[in-house]
Structure 1
Amino acid sequence: MGMVGGVAAGLFMAFSDTYWSNTVEAEVYAPAMFLMVLALWLALRWQEVHGERGGDSILLVLVYVLFLGIGVHQTAFLAYFPLFWLFVVIVDRERLFDWRYWLVTLPLGIVIVISLAEPFMVVAGVLLVISFMGMEVGSKAYRQRWRFCFWFVLLALLGYTLQAFIPLRSALDPAIDENNPDNWERFMAYLERKQYGQTSMLEGMFRRKGSWLSQFGVHRRMGYWGFFRQGWAPVSWWPLVVGVGLLGMVVGWLRERRRWLFLMALMVLCSFVVVLWMNFSDGTRGVQLEVRDRDYFFTPTYVAFSLWMGLGVSGLLWLVLRYLKG
């Protein structure tokens, strides 16, 4: 039944409206979601072996994959927060009280939200030096914890270096050379997304550009619920879609609650928090209406809910087989 549920989840995701639309053209969201789903699989694999020798190496591969994903699209990085700030510490309780773990995972996540440019490089560089120095003193167990932190930061930086291709490519003056980021100043402005305005998204989030109804309800350009209810089937079928997903949530809660919390946190982050963060304009508050449908920003939501639906299919199959067996 687990295999059937996994196949169903993959098909639900592949044929969801937004995901399918993005995969049939040269877009970034399909490869970004591949990296995010790979990160989810690595997290579950780590859970199975985390007490074994070398188990933490999976977490190091995982952080590399997520920071590599930033170079494809920042939505791939969303899994970082529920993964390292929630899932890891509820699976391995020792890390919940390990200040070294929080010293590296908190700043790296926060600074990425604030800035992809110089602040991240500075913070990561400082953490790398501190971790390296920590490996040279103390007991073996003490050095081992610092060694994990060192490799965590180093692999995050290595994944981030994918950004270096941008000024190199721009220096060749290609036909499409948006913002011409071939020097340090323009490259930093490119990473900071300055072409979208000087106000940071963190600051802009507190000045709403649209009504709550437009952003969370049904709106042709940005309404989260409007996009969600037609994500897998015609609008009139949405109760069936939601019902299967809700059944999957029940099945997930009954089977493994730590994974349930992880996936639920990811879905909340990729839906409600993204709506708040992106703050799409409905044209009623002095800011131009969004120029196109913004459903693609919710692609990670469709991934998460497709997983719930896959669990729901497993639950339905179990109920059917149980009924047939009497």
Structure 2
Amino acid sequence: MLAPDWYRRPTFLIAAGIFILATIVYILTMSQTLSFWDCGEYITTAHTMGVPHQPGTPLYVLVGRFFDVLLAPLVGTAAAVNFMSAFFSALALVFVYLTIQELARRADPDSGWLPHVGGVVGALFLLFSETYWNNAIEAEVYGLAAFVVAFLTWLGVKWHDLRAEAHSDRLLYLVIYLLGLGVGFHLGTLLVYPGIFVLILLARGRQLALVDLMGISVGLGLFLLSTMVKDDVVIIGGLVLLLSYAVWRAFGGKPFILIGCGVFLLGLSVHLILLIRAGLDPALNNTQPDNFQTLMSVLRREQYPPIDPLVRRADLWWQVRYYYGFLLDQFSFLDLGSLRLTRLLTILVPIFLGLLGAIHGYFRSRPWFWMLLVNYLINADILNLYLNFSDNEVRARDYFFATGFMYFALFIGLGAAALLRYLSGPLAVRAPAGR
């Protein structure tokens, strides 16, 4: 239950300040009409409840329609749908701040105000970072996906706090449900699960058996595999075995796998909107997924050439530099001078803070360190190797790594709090009453 004065506490006030600042910045820089690439398509499908390009993103269309109905009479359809990205990007920054300050406080319980400072630093770095800012000011799925990722990461931290309580599994059900629902924004939201899995694996108590955790992980893995391969026999066979085992466990009084699979499917059920709308022939009806066979082709993105990570489309070293060039571009807003030394320093400061945050976390709190590191690597280096970009892409592909940049911003915030802690020593300022 919330305390009576929750709205007066520093955490709420700072979070509200971050949200308001981000919203103002993004509104002032937001596209008022159409941007390039997919934005016009997303605005059109939001307005007409249509079907966008694969993999369909039905939840984006639903939420976009809500913003269209609510705001279009005031600002027009395009600006209303663009604002949706700004709103959810700003809201995601709130949970970035909350996650950093929670983790920094657990790493250094007597650090006073410093966790708040670290949370603000990390949130501001992400707010003004190149890719995140671009995604926040146009009609794209990445702002909404960022909110789901940030919220799920924060929920993982809250579960860690409550893991010894009798009903802590309810938070895990919420996490699993949001993983399924988040696919309706962007399939990449599933890539937040590996880090949460590691956190649960390292910190679980007797309330959650290892076999239950592995069962849910197998279920999520089978779904993800079904979006990448067409071998339905293997997928269906695996699902039948998993559900049979889940039912057997449920009859034995341990229904975690069965309930987890159920809430994940409940989240995924938002994709039925594609079947309904495609059958009604909206103005934009990409690939017309009006039956389950074409719906699966949408989820599998069959209109695109298959990805083969084993056959490199460009030199591996070039691909590594491709990603890390984008990472360094995130801090271009810090470049306040034309001297080469100034530019070098503006790059080294956030890199140093990020590395310091990772090192400090390793020695102070291993479970959350591994959660953040695993999710950073999967959404950055490993994703880069899997996507296997060529050296003649039609556009910059930095947006694919937006989640990786978010996790690096978390490390930056934790590093800022740790650095201030080291500098302040035993004289850290005490926090006021309340959090």
Q: TM-score range by the shorter chain?
A: 0.7 to 0.9
Q: Which residue of 2 aligns with 1:318?
A: 421
Q: What are the superposed Cα offsets for residues 48-104 of structure 1, whole Å, 9 maximum, x if unpaired?
A: 1111110111111011111211111122111112222x2111102658973343233
Distance 1:115 1:180, change over 3 A: same
TM-aligned CA deviation for residue 268 of structure 1: 0.8
Q: Deviation at 1:130?
A: 3.3
Structure 1 partner of 2:247: 132
**One-letter amino acid of the structure 2 residue matched with residue 210 of structure 1:** A
Structure 2 partner of 1:301: 404
Question: Shift of the alpha carbon at 1:181?
Answer: 1.7
2:324 aligns with 225
Residues 37 and 125 of structure 1, relative CA distance in 2, 3 Å threshold: farther
Residue 104 (str. 1) matches residue 216 (str. 2)? yes
Map of 1:22-61 to 2, 5 A cutoff?
22-61=135-174
Instruction: Using the aligned pairs only, state the percent identity.
Output: 30
Query: Under a length normalisation based on structure 1, what TM-score does the superposition of the two structures give?
Result: 0.85
Instruction: Supply the AA of the counterpart residue of 2:319.
Output: Q
Distance 2:373 2:218 in 1: 20
- Structure 1 pair 37–120 and aligned structure 2 pair: CA distance change class (3 A): farther
Residue 280 (structure 1) shift: 0.9
Offset from partner CA, 1:172-226 (integer Å, 9 cap, x none): 32332222222333222111111102x3x3xx11111111122111xxxxx1011
Q: CA deviation at 1:281?
A: 1.5
Q: TM-score, normalised by structure 2?
A: 0.65
- Point out the more displaced range, 54-63 or 163-172: 163-172
Residue 324 of structure 1 and its aligned partner are, at CA, apart by 7.5
- Whole-Å Cα distance in 2 between the matches of residues 26 and 121 of structure 1? 36
When the two chains are superposed, the root-mean-square deviation of aligned CA atoms in Å is 2.4
Within the alignment, does 1:175 sit opposite 2:283 as a pair? yes
- 8 Å Cα contact 1:70/1:77 also seen in 2: yes
Q: Does the CA-based 8 Å contact 2:118-2:413 persist in structure 1?
A: yes
1:247 aligns with 2:356: yes
Residues 89 and 95, structure 1, Cα contact 8 Å, conserved in 2: no
Q: How does 1:204-283 map onto structure 2 within 5 Å?
A: 204-217=308-321, 223-233=322-332, 234=335, 236=344, 237-282=346-391
Q: Structure 2: state its 5+ residue gaps.
A: 1-113, 336-342, 429-435
Q: In structure 1, which of residues 91, 94, 108 is the aligned counterpart of residue 203 of structure 2?
A: 91
AA aligned opposite 1:304: Y
Change in Cα spacing, 1:130 to 1:322, as seen in structure 2 (3 Å) is closer
Equivalent residue runs for 1:150-169 within 5 Å = 150-169=258-277
Cα distance in structure 2, aligned partners of 1:57 and 1:34: 21
Q: Contact 1:249–1:308 (CA<8 Å) still a contact in 2?
A: yes
Q: Match for residue 300 of structure 2?
A: 192
Map of 1:291 onto structure 2: 394
SS in structure 2 opposite 1:135? Answer: helix
Secondary structure of 1:11's aligned partner: helix
| CA–CA distance in structure 2, aligned partners of residues 51 and 323 of structure 1 | 31
Letter aligned with residue 261 of structure 1: W
Q: Which deviates the most, 153-162 or 122-131?
A: 122-131
Cα distance in 1 for residues equivalent to 2:205 and 2:381: 28
| 1:125-170 residue CA offsets vs partner (Å, 9 max, x unmatched) | 6534432333224xxxxx1xx3111111111111111221122222
Query: Aligned partner of 1:5: which letter?
Result: G
> For residues 278 and 246 of structure 1, what CA distance do their matches in structure 2 show?
25
SS of match in other structure, 2:134: helix
Does the CA contact (< 8 Å) of 1:112 and 1:120 recur in 2?
no
1:140 is aligned to none
Unaligned residue ranges in structure 1 (runs of 5+): 138-142, 218-222, 283-288
Q: Distance in 2 between matches of 1:104 and 1:257?
A: 23
Cα offset, 1:293, TM superposition:
0.7
